[in-house]
A and B are shown apart, each in its own frame.
Chain A
Amino acid sequence: MKKFSKLAVTEFRLFLREPEAAFFTFIFPILMLFIFGSIYGNRQTEFFSGYGSVDASVPAYIAMIIATTGLLSISITVAMYRERGVLKRYRTTPLSSSSVMISQILVGFIMTLIGAVILIITAKLLYNLRFGGNVIDVAIAFILSSSSFFALGFLLAGIAPTARSANVIGMAIYFPNLFLSGATFPKQVFPAALDKISHFIPLRYVVEVMQGMWFGHNWSQHHRDVVILLVILVISVIISALTFRWE
């Protein structure tokens, strides 16, 4: 436990010293909020079944932060640690591979949570954010979504032969997820063809379940999202456990 907590605290510090990662997790979502908030405001519309544009965007942007942490931050960090021999150096100590993985997940989780809280507070102060769900349900949706996407990040790091390829694959998956899932543009504006494609985009299910819980839907309306995210989680965990390499 001592070794794990020290490693987690260290990784936490290292994350904060990495300006790019901190920017995309903490600042970028707020910039998005400012831009779209100033264009559309947060008036209630039928379009978002009685909620405003900001009310729908906040859970969607939280989905975006989750994707950033999983697909970019975790996958690239792990692949880079491996390529540069950091993991090999850890391997010469009694540290276990699960400590390495769990510390990454924990730090990713805390950072994502901080990013989400900053976003929520800003939206509340500036746009009088509305919330129709209950906190527990939103927290469960958040934890499930994060777990799935962080596991996906480990899977990427495991199958990518080099840090550079992890970077390229991460980006190649990240951007379609960002734009075709409803995380940045609401899927209500998608033409039918795009809407079909978006069913193959994993982040779509994060957006749906996060928005659903935010608006106070019943879990029964989101069975499909939950099942798909669980499947992604289980498959990713299995593959990343099998493909984990120290060097």
Chain B
Amino acid sequence: MPGQSVVKVNTLCKRYGKVKSVDGISFEVYQGEIFGMVGPNGAGKTTTIECIESLRRPDAGEVEVLGLDPVKDHKQLCERIGVQLQESSLPDRLHVDEALDLFSSFYRKSINWQELLLDLGLQEKARNAYVNLSGGQKQRLFIALALVNDPEIVFFDELTTGLDPQARRTMWELVHRIRDKGKTVFLTTHFMEEAERLCDRVAIIDCGKLIALDTPENLIRDLKEGQRIIFTLQDNVDPAQFHRIKYAESVAVSSDRITISGSSDHLISEVVNFLTGNGIHFRDLRTEQPSLEDVFLKLTGHQVRN
């Protein structure tokens, strides 16, 4: 049961010269969800999110955020949302604690930023100048700044770009904690895995258009591609016989690597039984579930990153 809708976007269009950066996108975001937007470079993610954040003025279409019009109610809206931009910076010699203190003062309502320092692992860097922070530390500072006003919706444009795998996981936990406090999270990412693990619903964007929008599970289920079982043959055997395996829907051969796909959960045991039963030697057997990456490939005909 979805909550109330907090972001409504209806046939949003934005063009720069001849480029239609956003070409008629419509969707809604519900209160309390983690909403993700994925798509390749230049797909229009930043343009879309910045129209919602009242940083850019749409050419056409309607946007409503928390019942407000981002173009007309800029100030009121800014009080209630938190924003981490894909690209921005702070004055070089501004210290971390001063930045948090400064940004807290911009809002009518703000939370104790000391806790944010702890939450984001920045307490040891509190007295450091912005220019002396590492890329990941700057990113964490911007995430902290996005939270100082205790916002109702938090926007993260490229949440984990520039973070190491450890920090990325910490960030995922943080996003869950933010949501557990009843806030809505709207994020964009290049990482399909991140969208799949983190988001309740994912919008797939390509060339300024919304291609699909659903929960990661549904998107993957709709792909109707079962799991894949991949292994390497050690002997010279005729791969044609693998078609006889029960539940095997397709068999792909590339030199000695065999990929067998099928949607039944019993496929794996059938494959292993067949191989051992016929005395076929194999190694490196693994299974692959279809992922959002596959959904994207199927829907757009190209990889997210080329």
Q: Please report A residues at the B interface, Cβ cutoff 8 Å.
A: 2-3, 6-7, 10, 13-14, 17-18, 81, 84-86, 88-96, 246
Contact = CB atoms under 8 A, between A and B. Distances in A.
Contact of A13 (B78, B98, B108, B149): B98
Contacts of A92: 53, 55, 78, 81, 83, 85
Interface of B: 53, 55, 75, 78-79, 81, 83, 85, 87-91, 93-94, 98, 101-103, 105-108, 142, 145, 149
Main secondary structure of the interface of A (DSSP, over half): helix
Given A18-B93, A81-B91, A88-B55, A7 B102 contact: yes
A2 B106 CA distance: 8
Contacts of B90: 86, 89
A2 B88 contact: no
Given A6-B102, A14-B94, A17-B93, A94 B75 contact: yes
B107 A85 contact: no
B87 A95 contact: no
Contacts of A96: 75
B106 A3 contact: yes
Nearest to A15: B93
Contacts of B102: 6-7, 10
A18 B18 CA distance: 43
A86 B106 contact: no
Nearest to B81: A92
A85 B90 CA distance: 8
Contact of A2 (B85, B93, B103, B105): B105
B255 to A, nearest CB: 50
A216 to B, nearest CB: 42
Contact of B106 (A18, A81, A85, A95): A95
Nearest to A92: B83
A10 B98 contact: yes
Nearest to A93: B106
Contact of B107 (A86, A88, A91, A94): A94
Nearest to A10: B102
Contacts of A18: 93
A136 B53 CA distance: 48
A182 to B, nearest CB: 35
Contacts of A17: 93
Nearest to A91: B55
5 contacts: A10-B102, A13-B98, A89-B89, A89-B90, A92-B78
Nearest to B130: A86
A38 to B, nearest CB: 35
Given A10-B98, A13-B98, A92-B83, A85 B105 contact: no
Nearest to B93: A17
Contacts of A81: 91
A84 B103 CA distance: 17
Residue of B88, B90, B93, B145 most packed against chain A (CB within 10 A): B88
